[in-house]
Each structure stands twice: as structure tokens, then as C-alpha cells.
Amino acid sequence: MVLAKSTRMYLIIFIGTVLIYLLLHCVPTYLPPSDNKNTEPPPLYIITPTYRRPEQLAELTRLGQTLKHVKNLLWLVIEDAYDWHPLVTHILDRIGVPYVYLLAPMPEQYRKGYIPRGVSNRNRGLEYLRANATEGVFYFADDDNTYDISLFEEMRYIQKVGMWPVGLVTSTGVSSPIIRNGKLDGYYDGWIGGRKYPIDMAGFAVSVKFLHERPNAKVPFKTSFEETLFLESLEPLERSDIEYLADECTDILVWHTQSVKNGPAKPFNETLHNDTNLKYLEMLLVRKS
């Protein structure tokens, strides 16, 4: 009787141990394999227009190093040019952010007066999304702004359109939706200019699904009216469709920094320096011809 009791006890301990072992080692393999995928945040598409100028590689480096901190992102770098520039590819490869490098030359008739820079680039980005993206959010991120990475984490969950303040824009020092009692009550910007949506290009993002529902939406070749006319092309756009990010527009997460315009660098003296490192640095600069 005593023996049988202790045998039973050993049996219970043995079975218990086996059960705990199975629980620890085998159960995790029964988790659905798609679990990782479910925890992946919605994709972000960052559309960056660029063009050849002395600051180009510097600006792309700065923005790229910021984007490196953001998960599940595709960087659409779109150059106003007829040919791919090997140095741009070189810089993008080195930064290591997943990217697509596309070309979108501006039609010649717009290259005079107030040049609507970046328009053909942004429309090329929209074309890419229409063909290749189904979910997530896109954002027109110029290469000369300064971005807090928390902005990207906030914007990826936008359902339709999201807006937020942009610092260092016009004489008001900031361009922002005005929020009164939790509701939109106009826009604050040093230049309203009769625009329905007087906001900066860096001050909004749009969901890819919403773009798909508006097949005619595009950025127009009209200098200073690109933002408002693009948003108008997304209509119908109800006020209740718009989300106000950056803590209901009480914080600034992007700044329109703009770097000083540099003139082309003067050429180096070949006789003196042809056999030195300077000939490699020369290739990274935009030179006076």
C-alpha cells in the first residue's frame, strides 16, 4: 500500500515533468506562422523629389540617415532628370534604406519663371503607388526638411488624410491647421493666398487606399498651389476624414529647414592635383564647367 502510493507519486511527478517539457518545447511551434507578419506595422511610402545641385548628395544623406530608423518603409527617390546618376545610386546603396530610384523629367515648358519643382517627381511617385501599393500611407518628404522619426510612426496609421504643423514656414514661423475645441477652425500660415488648404507639402500624408479611391488625384504644375490643388483633387474630403497628428497639432515634428544655396564649386587645378585624392572628391561635387 505504502509502495503503491509512492509509485503513484513518482508517476504523477514523471507525467507532470513530461507535460511541462512538452508545454515549453512544443507548444510554440503550434503558433500560426503568420504571427510575425501580423505585428509588422503598415507600410510607409516616402516620396522624395530631388534634382542635381551642389546640396543634393548632402540632403539625401541627411534624410536617408533619418529614414534608416523607420521600419517597413520604401523610399521613392525621384529625380528630375533624363538619366540615372551613379552617385545618387551610390549614396542610396550606402545608406541602406530600401529604395526605388526613378526619373521624372519636368516638361520643358515649365522650366521658366516660377518653376513648379518636384511636380513631375511627385506624380511619378503616385503612379508607382497606383501600380505597386495596396495599403499603408504615403508622404511627400522633400530632401531639405528635418524630420522627427516619431512623425513617421504616427502617420502610418492614418485612415484617409492626416495633417500636422510644419515649422519654419513663412513669416508666421509655422504652418498649421488651427484646432479649437478639438475641431478644425481654419489654417495658420503666413500666406493664405486664397488657398482652400493653405498647408505645406510636409504637413500632410494620405493613405494608399484613399488614393486608390481617387484615380484622378494628382499634383498640378502650378507653383505655390501644389498642396491645395492636390488635396482638392482628393475630394470628396470631409473635415471628419482628416486626422490631426502631432498631439492634435500642438507639437512640431517637421521643420522646413532649407539649406543655404551653394554655387557650383570652382574646378581644381589638374596640373597641381591630378595625382591626388582631390580627383575623387571632384567627382562628388557639382562643378562650374
- Binding-site annotation: residue ranges for Mn(2+): 144
Distance separating alpha carbons of residues 209 and 217, to the nearest angstrom: 13
Q: Which is nearer to ligand NAG, 4 or 272 (CB)?
A: 272
Residues 244 and 179 sit within 8 Å (Cβ to Cβ): yes
Is 65 a binder of ligand NAG (CB under 6 A)? no
Q: Which is nearer to ligand NAG, 39 or 269 (CB)?
A: 269
Report in angstroms how near the CB of residue 157 gets to ligand NAG at its nearest.
Answer: 25
One residue of 4, 26, 31, 131 binding ligand NAG per CB under 6 A: 131
Report in angstroms how near the CB of residue 207 gets to ligand NAG at its nearest.
Answer: 19
One residue of 17, 72, 250, 274 binding ligand NAG per CB under 6 A: 274
**Residue ranges of the binding site:** 144
Residues 64 and 75 sit within 8 Å (Cβ to Cβ): yes
Is 134 a binder of ligand NAG (CB under 6 A)? no
Binding pattern for the stretch 250-269 against ligand NAG, x by CB under 6 A and - elsewhere: -------------------x
Residues 71-110 interacting with ligand NAG (rule: CB under 6 A): 100
Is 127 a binder of ligand NAG (CB under 6 A)? yes
Give the end-to-end CA distance of the chain in Å, rounded to a whole number. 104
Is 132 a binder of ligand NAG (CB under 6 A)? yes
One residue of 34, 36, 134, 271 binding ligand NAG per CB under 6 A: 271
Annotated catalytic residue 282: no
Is 276 a binder of ligand NAG (CB under 6 A)? no
Report in angstroms how near the CB of residue 33 gets to ligand NAG at its nearest.
Answer: 26
Q: Which is nearer to ligand NAG, 178 or 278 (CB)?
A: 278
One residue of 22, 258, 270, 283 binding ligand NAG per CB under 6 A: 270
Q: Which is nearer to ligand NAG, 123 or 176 (CB)?
A: 123
248 Rama sector, left if φ>0, alpha if ψ -120 to 50, beta otherwise: left
Binding site for ligand NAG (CB under 6 A): 100, 127-128, 131-132, 269-272, 274
Looking at the annotation, which residues are catalytic? Answer: 227
